[in-house]
Amino acid sequence: MATKIRIKQADGGHEVLALVEHPMDTGQQKKDGVLIPANWIQKMSFSLNGKEVAVADLGVAVSADPLISVMIKGAKTGDTVKVNWSDNLGKTGSAEKKVG
């Protein structure tokens, strides 16, 4: 499951957009008459130069391949933004990008 980051300069800071390729299954859908097991991202954290600056607690109501956006103030050119996520099955992912 790929994780992509885009960073855009915005009023008063930088907007960080994180796109995660993830099914976000609720456990209530069926495929060929069989329930698809629940599988969703529980937590997504954003850090700037190793310091956590935002956390998103997600759940089953979030659509597949979620796009999560946060505003980060105080980031400068060359700083590193990192996104980490974990799901209810113990899978994890991350991506990082330098502020341009």
Read off the pLDDT of residues 63-81 as tens digits, 9 standing for 90 and up. 999 999 999 999 999 999 9
What contacts 24+ positions apart, CB below 8 Å, involve 35-42? 38/88, 39/87, 39/88, 39/89, 40/87, 40/88, 41/66, 41/85, 41/86, 41/87, 42/86, 42/87, 42/88
The span from the CA of 66 to the CA of 68, in Å, is 6
Q: What count of other Cβ atoms lies within 10 Å of the Cβ of residue 20?
A: 24
In the predicted model, what is the mean pLDDT of the chain? 97
pTM of the predicted model as reported, rounded to 2 decimal places: 0.93
Question: What pLDDT is attached to residue 12?
Answer: 87
Q: What is the pLDDT of residues 19-64, one digit of tens each?
A: 999 999 999 999 999 999 999 999 999 999 999 999 999 999 999 9
What domains appear along the chain, each with residue ranges and CATH number? 3-89 (2.60.40.10)
**CA–CA distance, 6 with 2 (Å, rounded to integer):** 13
Q: Residues 59, 62, 65, 66: is their CA dihedral positive or negative?
A: negative
Q: Is 6 left (phi over 0), alpha (psi -120 to 50) or beta?
A: beta
